[in-house]
Structure 1
Amino acid sequence: MRRPSFKRPGASGWRDADLVTAWQASSLLLGYPDEQLLARRPLLRRAAASLPAEAGLRLGAFLDHLDAVPPRDLQSDYVATFDHRKRCCLYLTYYVHGDTRKRGMALLRFKHAYRAAGLELGDGELPDHLAVVLEFAATGDLDQGRRLLVEHRAGLELLRLALTDAESAWTPVLDAVSATLPPLTGRDRDAVARLIAEGPPEEEVGLAPYGADAPAGGPVLLPDPVVPGGAS
């Protein structure tokens, strides 16, 4: 049974069905650009074409990039962008807590939200990876997923700005995600300014129990995307 397409003013009038499509497509496009992702380009193009322009055109622009660049170069760029630049980190709690003890508790909050929806992550996978959160929001619990994204709005904005400054090919994907969320509040803007000036907190602690060795590409919660158009 399809989810009803209600409009929600907190998401700038986006229909639930469009949020689901935008978040799942963005989740996949923020994953490591392997053969599986590249094979899904026709499906993802159909999904992008079904979305409002503020997200669909941006996802389409990134898909153009995937078409134009050799896979090995895409993969090298992905690692250089998300593994080697702290301000381009895809793990949302890092922006709030850095590598501190408080981050461990924040990670548990994500895991509890997933369990409440009947979903479990594999061992060694961090639950705050943006691709995972978007997949959860799209296919697990839309309201709880949106809550997690909005709570980490400042970190998402810093990531978007960092990708923009680096002229990263992944910038349009973050632009598309931001377009689905409420505008930044004054409090969010203050938090972004503070992060730009100071960076995340620093306190080296062991996070191995929470999957600190997980690859930056991150997992998605379900193996098959649920986007319009059927399989490619």
Structure 2
Amino acid sequence: MSGKNEALDARAWQTLSVLLGYPDEELYGNLPLLHRAAATLPAPVAGPLARFLAFLGAGTPEQIAQQYVATFDHKRRGCLYLTYYTHGDTRKRGVALLRLKQQYAAAGLRLAQDELPDHLCVALEFAAARPEAGRRLLTEYRAGVELLRLALADAGSPWRDLLDALSATLPALTGDQRAAAARLAAQGPPDEQVGLEPFAPPQYMPESVGGRR
């Protein structure tokens, strides 16, 4: 991958990290910068971003926030936590969360106390800062990203545009990844209802599936 392409992907991932977050005052304050960043990206990324930015501009912040909560806080298929797709509520998820936290620390990045390491926004921030390692991480969870994209498309959600833009920055799905996404869509994540605390600190165990705030 050329340095130019890597820089463009990093810019796209940083933009997506902001836009996939809760639509608060900080996000709206950054809209001019986000418009400028989106305009510099390749068409397969810039097009979906432009549509989503137009959506943000067409509604009130209160309306957008209500839609965000309805999209990401109450639907298991609208989950923004990547390890949930692969491990569900099982002990393995705790191990995966710790591994991600250690990966970020090894790259010199530290999480805020209220952030979960597998939240898609956090993963995108990591990818923007460390593109090579970040691409590997996003590719590892490609099936979950695809399932989220399909769920948002099925729901007619404007946030589907952001997942379309993300997919445009990643390698095409392999046969194994397509099969994994289909299996997740049919069966859902694993559902072993056990305590996860022995495998990760309590602050990294979400009480419920939902969006980062």
TM-score (norm 2): 0.93
Out of 165, 170, 173, the position equivalent to 2:162 is: 173
Give the equivalent residue in structure 1 for 2:16.
26
1:150 equivalent to 2:139? Answer yes
Give the equivalent residue in structure 1 for 2:45.
55
* Separation in structure 1 between the aligned mates of residue 7 and residue 137 of structure 2, nearest angstrom: 19
- Please report how far the alpha carbon of residue 109 of structure 1 lies from its aligned counterpart in structure 2 after TM superposition: 1.3
Q: Deviations over 1:68-115 (max 9, x none)?
A: 011111101111110101001000000000010000011111101110
177 and 161 in structure 1: CA distance in 2 versus 1, 3 angstrom threshold = same
- Please report how far the alpha carbon of residue 215 of structure 1 lies from its aligned counterpart in structure 2 after TM superposition: 8.5
| Percent identity of equivalent pairs | 58
Structure with bigger helix share is: 2
- Shift >6 Å, 4+ stretches: none
1:88 equivalent to 2:83? Answer no
Query: Tell me, what secondary structure is at the counterpart of 1:15?
Result: helix
- Please report how far the alpha carbon of residue 213 of structure 1 lies from its aligned counterpart in structure 2 after TM superposition: 4.2
Q: Which amino acid aligns with 1:26?
A: L
Out of 61, 65, 70, the position equivalent to 2:55 is: 65
Q: Are the equivalent residues in 2 in contact too, given 1:124–1:211 (CA < 8 A)?
A: no
1:212 equivalent to 2:206? Answer yes
Q: Deviations over 1:123-168 (max 9, x none)?
A: 24210000000011102x1111111100000000000000000000
| Unaligned residue ranges in structure 2 (runs of 5+) | 197-201
1:42 equivalent to 2:32? Answer yes
* Separation in structure 2 between the aligned mates of residue 87 and residue 215 of structure 1, nearest angstrom: 10
Give the equivalent residue in structure 1 for 2:6.
16
Q: Which amino acid aligns with 2:30?
A: R
- Please report how far the alpha carbon of residue 7 of structure 1 lies from its aligned counterpart in structure 2 after TM superposition: 2.0
1:7 equivalent to 2:7? Answer no
1:203 equivalent to 2:198? Answer no
| Unaligned residue ranges in structure 1 (runs of 5+) | 1-5, 9-13, 220-232
TM-score (norm 1): 0.86
